[in-house]
Amino acid sequence: MNRHSIFFKLNLIFLFALGALIALFAMMVREIRSQEMQMLEKKAVKCEADIRKIIVQSGAELQKRFEEHGYTPIPHPEEINVNLQPLFQPPPPSFPSALRERIEDGRLRIYRDEERIYFELIGPKSSRMVATEIETYRPKWIAIFFGGMTGIIILLYWTLRRSLIPLKTLARQIKRFGEGETDITTLSHKRDEIAFVANQFDAAVRKINAMKEARTLFMRNIMHELKTPITKGKLSVALLKEEQEAKILQRAFSRMEHLIHEMAEMETITSRALDLKLDRCDFRSLVKDAANLLFIEEDRIAIACHKCYLEVDYNMMVIVLKNLIDNAIKYGSGEKVHLCYRKGVLEVINKGEPMSQSFEKMLEPFSKDENGHTGESFGLGLYIVRSILEAHGATLSHRYEKGYHIFSITGLKRVR
pLDDT (tens digit per residue) in 61-116: 888 888 888 888 888 777 666 678 888 888 888 899 988 898 888 888 899 888 88
Confidence at residue 4, expressed as pLDDT on a 0 to 100 scale: 77
- Phi, psi (5° rounding) for residue 119? -120, 115
372 pLDDT band, cuts 50/70/90, is very low
Of 304, 388, 313, residue with least CA distance to 345 = 304
Burial track 154-170 (b if 16+ CB lie within 10 A, e otherwise): eeebeeeeeeeebeeeb
d(CA 406, CA 304): 14
Least Cα distance to 287 among 259, 309, 261, 268 occurs for: 309
Q: At residue 209, does pLDDT exceed 70?
A: yes
* CA 396/CA 389 separation, integer angstroms: 7
d(CA 109, CA 125): 16
**Length in residues, the chain:** 416
Confidence of residue 241 (pLDDT cuts 50, 70, 90): low
Give all domains of the chain, ordered by start, each with its CATH number: 6-133 (no CATH), 179-275 (1.10.287.130), 277-415 (3.30.565.10)
Residue 186, Cβ density class (10 Å: 0-12 exposed, 13-18 middle, ≥19 buried): buried
Q: Identify whether the C-beta of residue 283 lies closer than 8 Å to the C-beta of residue 252.
A: no
Angle subtended at Cα 61 by Cα 60 and Cα 66, rounded to the nearest 5 degrees: 95
Residue 273's pLDDT band (boundaries 50, 70, 90)? very low
How far is it, in rounded angstroms, from Cα 354 to Cα 195? 55
Q: Are 305 and 340 in contact (CB under 8 A)?
A: yes
